[in-house]
Structure 1
Amino acid sequence: MSERDDASRPPARVRVTAPRAGSAAASARLTAQAGAEAPTSDITGVYVRSLIRSQLRLGVVMAVGFVAATAVFVLAIALAPAPVLDETFVAGVPLSWLLLGVGVYPLAITVGGLYVRAAARNEARYRSLAEDE
């Protein structure tokens, strides 16, 4: 075979597998990973779990609040007198469509901003607790 024949062929396939679960390499890697992720003390673990719970609670509350506020916004538009919203046009678009299409964005931005501020406050509390230790 010449060099031209070798260059035109695709490279041979290689099968890559993970080490078996009982092998020394696998158990050494798992031990190293567990040691890297384990908190240095019990109180640090409590603080981290508390932060995770508070961030989860905040996320759920914000999501439910956003869905509820959006539902109220949609219901208010649906229950408004039809002639007012359907017969009023802005740039050729009915006012009800414009409110639904554009009116939800300020609500989403506000909820997002409130979430970021509250999440930063939670993390600042965690840092202050962790530094005091």
Structure 2
Amino acid sequence: MSTPEGPRRVRVTSPRTSAARRPIMPTGTREIDEQTRLGQVYMQSLIQSQLRLTLAVIGSVVLVLGSIPMLFWLVPPTRTLSVLGLPLPWVILGILVYPVVYVAARIYVRNAERIETEFTEFVGRQ
């Protein structure tokens, strides 16, 4: 008994299977993940940028808020001046301090996000 043979199977492959593969270039994220020296440099750069921003914002806030006692000391009439029936020191310390802190926080967050976005784009390109 002979069995009829069906169509013969053919294996189809890409003509590029025998071509040399491109070497995989290490990316910045891979350098960071593998904790190589270059990855450490990337992370130190990010941390230093964030530290500079933090110190600049804190320094600005301390300078602005620290100048309030100097204002009262150097200009004595400000100690007794009233605004809308409230003493000026109360107005400054009880009301005007909060917008200064809020603006400083907004500036910090916006710039921190910008630094992180730039870092992510840079590391992704590497």
TM-score, L = length of structure 2: 0.63
Q: CA deviation at 1:81?
A: 4.8
Answer yes or no: is 1:114 the counterpart of 2:76: no
Identify which of structures 1 and 2 has the higher relative contact order when contacts are C-alpha pairs closer than 8 Å and 6+ apart: 2
Q: What amino acid sits opposite 2:55 in the alignment?
A: V
User: 2:33 is paired with a residue of what secondary structure?
Assistant: coil
Q: Is the CA contact 1:54–1:122 (under 8 Å) kept in the aligned structure 2?
A: yes
Q: Is the CA contact 1:39–1:45 (under 8 Å) kept in the aligned structure 2?
A: no
1: CA distance between counterparts of 2:94 and 2:69?
A: 11
Alignment RMSD (CA, Å): 2.1
2: CA distance between counterparts of 1:88 and 1:111?
A: 27
Q: What amino acid sits opposite 2:74 in the alignment?
A: L
Q: CA deviation at 1:87?
A: 4.7
2: CA distance between counterparts of 1:63 and 1:50?
A: 20
Q: Return the structure number with greater helix share.
A: 1
Say which one has the larger Rg: 2
The 3 A distance-change label for structure 1 pair 59 and 87 is closer
Stretches of structure 2 lacking an aligned partner (at least 5 in a row): 1-31
Q: Is the CA contact 1:44–1:130 (under 8 Å) kept in the aligned structure 2?
A: no
* Percentage of pairs with the same residue: 29
- Aligned pairs, number: 94
TM-score, L = length of structure 1: 0.60
